[in-house]
Chains A and B, each alone.
Chain A
Amino acid sequence: MSGDAAVTSVAIAGSGLAGWLAASLVARALPDLAITVTETPGPDRSLGVTTAAEILLPDDLLMLGEAGWNGPDLLRECRAGFLLGTALTGWRADGAAAFMPFGEIGAPLGPVPFHQLVSTQRRRGEAVNLANYSIGALAAQAGRFAPPPPGDETAHSALAFGLCVDTQRMAAMLREDALERGVQLTGALSDADLVIDASGPDSRFAGAREDWSAWFPFDRVASARRSSEAPPPPYVHCDAHAAGWQSFAPLADGVGELFVFASADAPGAPPAEPFAPGCEVAAWTDNVVRIAGAAAQHDPVSGLQLHIALADVLRLIALFPATRELAAEAAEYNRQWREQTDCAFDAALLRLARTGARGAVWDRLRASPLPERAGYRHDLYAANGRIVLHDGEVLDEAGWIAQFDALGVQPRKGDALADALPSERIAAHFAAIRQAMIAAVGRMPPYQALLAQAVA
């Protein structure tokens, strides 16, 4: 009858950020559990690839807040910087830079979505830059920032922000919290009712794996933390280069750099860690739940490694097995995990495979056909600017629009009803939005001063 017994012990394999995230949040949610964490030496690959900085999306901050981790603590303890979006250079065929902000862009005119108005105006020959109608992009550009005050009803209220955290500092913060809550650190994996595998892609629990190398050519990564005197601006800068891409993520006192490339296309490149995009066929088998990098290795281009790890941990808590007879929980966990994995796959693939970046590897990417689901997303947007949303999305509708637009994907047609609106009416709507946003940004304090105060 051991199947009826409650799960009383959990062993977490891996002492990287994913392991300590699981330890802290599970200990907070289920304080009676006996939890151990097995120490793993070497660089932290628990999220997938080793990074110096990781990103928390706006929604992640809400989730962490519910679990008891609030913004001010995260800022101070993780030497975090605020994040308003990602600036792209080298991704478009026309050479233009682009900005993908968090949050809504513009505002609908009656029932017509903003991006359809933009699409209509562009087809009429107007040049419209989406980022000009994002309060986050405008604030980033002006070097100003403040979280929207509660109850605010101005354009400021639409400002969505995330955080960029120091990977090691966040792991240390969570570790301290977990140990205070009675989590035990062990050398070898202890016997437990449930094993959470947070040991990254080289996990000893690896099972049958799907290989994504046919779609994702990048297989080497190098990361570094560079310090800076003044805080860098509140956005990630991501630059496409001939053999891959490079990103710079803003911490309070430095930059987390990531350099990703295809080894076949960069013969003279300095040594870097290999990685292989792919995922487990099932994340949860028997009493082992693989989370974060142990379950799926995505190309890190979307900056979602920490978001995915957090989603895995929260899903596990919501579906925490009531007894050791846990097949029902595992089946539902795997269903949800697969949904999210597929959506993250699509987001990364469409970020990489349909760009205007220059280089042989990018040419090959552009020339290869997309798998059906990602292909439909792309083709639908390219046809008429509409966004497909599945259950496990890692990008919301605004995020997908921002990504397609930033990469230079232009809908051939748009909303037939937007096309019926006179140009002057749309232009007046655009001007009103922009004016309200510029006024709101003007009332924000300079970003650097605000951040200095927040992390002090």
Chain B
Amino acid sequence: MEGRAVERVVIVGGGTAGWMTAAALAHRLQGLPISVTLVESEEIGTVGVGEATVPHIRFFNARLGIDEADFMRRTSATFKLGIEFRNWGRKGDSYIHPFGVFGEEIEGVPFHHLWARFARAGGRDPVEAFSLPVLAARMDRFAHPDPDPDSLLSTYSYAYQFDAGLYAAYLRAYAEARGVRRVEGRVVGAPLQGETGFVESVVLQDGRIIVGELFIDCSGFRGLLIEQALQAGYEDWSHWLPCDRAVAVPCRSDAPLSPYTRATALDAGWAWRIPLQHRVGNGHVYCSSHISDEAARDALLGQIEGEPIAEPRFLRFTTGRRHKQWDRNVVAIGLAAGFLEPLESTSIHLIQLAVGRLLDHFPDRDWDPFCAREYNRLMDLEYERVRDFLILHYHATERDDTPFWNQVRTMQVPDSLAHRLETFRKRGVVVNYRDGMFLDASWIAVYLGQRVIPETSDPRGEVLSDAGLMLRLASMRDEYAQMASQLPKQNAFLERIGAHVG
């Protein structure tokens, strides 16, 4: 059986997905008789809009042995404590979905129950007054979390905002140093074996043929192997997430470095702002049946804070996922596997998950169908869960000022999400699942931030009188505010750890 091992892995497409996959394979397969080849063409641009990440990326980097300060310097990275959502629940609203928890539980009762009661009883402090990462983010402050679980500074996590192109280049150097072979060339074909229908090789424009046993399709939306060669099929989710285009433009900025991403709801979509050390990434995700490309571009240019440093670039996509992300001997990773808009910075995380799962279910040449079947089951769940979380942002709104918002506010959402919303609205209970990417605190942040305030709370909290609750929360609030104001500005912190660019 050991003679049936996969010996040649071929990755089609560079970019974030291709090089993250290559780097992880190079690390994990080191010392094994398995070669990894990555084919990419310099003529084909990468999408690379996923410049903001979630905290899991730190574990990906750590596993590869990547030094944080070095990586941040070379990718022009900033720290990220969360995402600010503007104008989502109502125009004029602003809340931050932080990588961290709100408040502390009292007598086993989760904090948000106490806060909801406090708010119903006339308490004025918003829930963000009880979140260290939100307070720090609002003041552009950052420090690493404290490993001491008793410290308030242990109540949050963090991620990065970086230049995805530089990150891919960084991982390329890493992977090539560990034996990954890079082939420059444009893939023009992928012949299948007659009997099995498996991909046999990829054919380049200049006639070269690259053979392999396992192929990883990181070719982006086109899905060169998974769709064009294998026709795995695509499940369209645009009835729930109707945005289908984006326009992106970077700009200069003199503003202080914010340790958070911003997502501002516009008339027919939303705009991102991702502050890096050397520039700010901006983009507008929109629904083409509600706004023209020109109007979308103008809306974006009208709202960026500095001089654009490149021409606006347009992208088209269909939200959804491949019916089979792993089909025969092809595993699709990144945009080739599916597309979910970057509202919660999930693109890079989904790549990371896919690579990890592929290594967990690494096949041999007997192609046990259970490898692909279990991989697909797990990845399908991940995509559906992220999808539901994204739909929540659009659906939990009071906005009725444009046809777009009327459509998403009144649409029928998946049953699983309808149950979640109802359970939180009525009783403040967060319906969640095992190993979900978004923990309770994330759901709470979006519910409360978008005005889904529980009508009732956990009766165990009633042991505290209203007055007692007010006092407890007031002292908690002061403690959070004081702690946050003592953190260094992000700029100073980057310099201190040697992560500052030039």
Contact = CB atoms under 8 A, between A and B. Distances in A.
B5 A29 contact: no
B368 interface: yes
A363 interface: no
B433 A413 contact: no
Most buried by A among B2, B34, B456, B457: B456
Contacts of A420: 2, 5, 32-34
Contacts of B34: 420
A328 B426 contact: yes
Contacts of A393: 434
Given A30-B459, A416-B364, 19 more contacts: A6-B459, A66-B108, A319-B427, A321-B459, A322-B456, A322-B458, A327-B426, A328-B422, A328-B425, A328-B426, A329-B426, A329-B429, A332-B423, A332-B429, A380-B370, A380-B374, A384-B371, A390-B434, A417-B359
Contacts of A384: 361, 368, 370-371
A322 B32 contact: no
A386 B459 CA distance: 41
A417 B359 CA distance: 8
Interface string B411-455: 000000001001101110101011100000000000000000000
A413 B368 contact: yes
B208 interface: no
B1 interface: yes
A323 B423 contact: no
A344 B60 CA distance: 35
Interface in A380-396: 380, 383-384, 386, 388-391, 393
Contacts of B456: 322-323
A320 interface: yes
5 contacts: A111-B28, A332-B431, A335-B419, A379-B370, A413-B1
A322 B1 contact: no
A123 interface: yes
Contact of B361 (A6, A386, A388): A386
A331 B28 contact: no
B467 interface: no
Contact of A391 (B373, B433, B462): B433
Contacts of B460: 29-30, 317, 320
A31 interface: yes
Interface string B387-427: 00000000000000000000000000000000100110111
Contacts of B118: none
B434 A391 contact: yes
B362 interface: yes
A195 B363 CA distance: 53
A383 B370 contact: yes
A328 B362 contact: no
B108 A322 contact: no
B458 to A, nearest CB: 7
Contacts of B307: none
A208 B436 CA distance: 33
A60 interface: no
B459 to A, nearest CB: 5
Instruction: Report whether over half of chain A's contact residues are helix, strand or loop; otherwise say mixed.
Output: loop
B303 to A, nearest CB: 39
A32 interface: yes
B453 to A, nearest CB: 14
Interface string B11-42: 00000000000000000110011100000000
A7 B5 contact: no
A61 to B, nearest CB: 17
Contact of B2 (A6, A30, A323, A419): A419
A329 B431 CA distance: 11
Contacts of A412: 368
A415 interface: yes
B364 A413 contact: yes
Contacts of A391: 433-434
A66 B105 CA distance: 14
Interface string B207-251: 000000000000000000000000000000000000000000000
A320 B359 contact: no
A419 B5 contact: yes
A321 to B, nearest CB: 8
Contacts of B371: 384
B1 A419 contact: yes
B62 interface: no
B6 interface: yes
A327 B1 CA distance: 56
Contacts of A322: 427, 456-459
B191 to A, nearest CB: 25
A335 B373 CA distance: 26
Interface in B444-491: 456-460, 462-463
Interface string A219-253: 00000000000000000000000000000000000
Contact of B368 (A66, A383, A419): A383
B366 interface: yes
Contacts of B458: 318, 320, 322
Contacts of A29: 108, 460
Interface string A307-348: 000000000011111110001110110010000000000000
B429 A319 contact: yes
Interface string A292-320: 00000000000000000000000001111
Nearest to B110: A318
Which of B359, B374, B419, B427 has the most CB atoms of chain A within a 10 A radius of its CB? B427
A44 B463 CA distance: 34
Contacts of B457: 322
Nearest to A336: B431
Given A66-B108, A328-B423, A328-B426, A320 B370 contact: no
Contacts of B29: 417
- Most B CB contacts (10 A, CB to CB) among A6, A320, A327, A386 go to A386
A239 to B, nearest CB: 33
Interface in B95-112: 108
Among B33, B108, B370, B460, the one with the most A-chain Cβ atoms within 10 Å of its Cβ is B370
Nearest to A323: B456
A235 B135 CA distance: 52
Nearest to B462: A32
Contacts of A318: 429, 458
Contacts of A327: 426
Contact of A416 (B33, B363, B433, B462): B363
Interface in B346-388: 359-364, 366, 368, 370-371, 373-374
Interface in B29-61: 29, 32-34
B150 to A, nearest CB: 16
B462 A417 contact: no
A386 B29 CA distance: 20
B378 to A, nearest CB: 9
Contacts of A321: 427, 459
Contacts of B431: 332, 335
A415 B1 CA distance: 12
A320 B32 CA distance: 55
B5 A416 contact: yes
B359 A111 contact: yes
A39 to B, nearest CB: 27
B321 to A, nearest CB: 20
Interface string A403-423: 000000000110111011000
A328 B108 contact: no
A235 B486 CA distance: 54
Contacts of A389: 434-435
Interface in B317-346: none
Contacts of A32: 462
A117 to B, nearest CB: 14
B419 A331 contact: yes
A327 B32 CA distance: 57
A250 B88 CA distance: 59
B6 A416 contact: yes
Nearest to B425: A328
Interface string A264-300: 0000000000000000000000000000000000000
